[in-house]
Amino acid sequence: MGDLGTDRNQETYEILLDYYVNAGRLEDTWSMINEMKRKRFRLSSFVYSKVIGLYRDNGMWKKAMEIVEEIREMGMTLDRQIYNSIIDTFGKYGELDEAFEVFEKMKHEGVRPDILTM
């Protein structure tokens, strides 16, 4: 991209990150996230929900939940996209009580469920 005179911006980083996540490339995903941090790009709920999904899809659902704790510790508000990733993670690993708890917390915090939540 740099050879073409085009600099990366938030959108291009997120597109590349989405590609790496969908390809299951954990190392490249973290490399991209670290580059975004170095360049002071904001790590959005999109980025975090993708990372949660990548860990989930690679059998590391507990690591995915550690990411959620990191998000909370940073003071970032959990939005629908992150809540959906958490609920999906618990659901795919048979942790249905936890998924329901998160769903109820989501509603209690005023985050409206959408079609992906159901």
* Top-confidence residue, 67 or 6: 67
CATH of the structural domain 2-108, one choice from 3.40.50.880, 3.40.640.10, 3.40.718.10, 1.25.40.10: 1.25.40.10
Domain positions in the chain are 2-108
Report the alpha-carbon distance of residue 101 to residue 60 in Å, rounded. 20
pTM above 0.85, yes or no: no
Asked if residue 55 has pLDDT above 80, the reply is yes
68-77 mean pLDDT = 87
**Neighbouring residues of 68: CB distance < 8 A, sequence distance ≥ 6:** 52, 78, 82, 86
pLDDT attached to residue 16: 92
Collect contacts of 17-22 with beta carbons under 8 A, ≥24 apart: 17/47, 17/50, 18/50, 21/50, 21/51, 21/53, 21/54
Which pLDDT band, with edges at 50, 70 and 90, does 5 fall under? low
Which spans in 3-116 are helix H? 10-22, 26-38, 45-57, 61-73, 80-92, 96-108
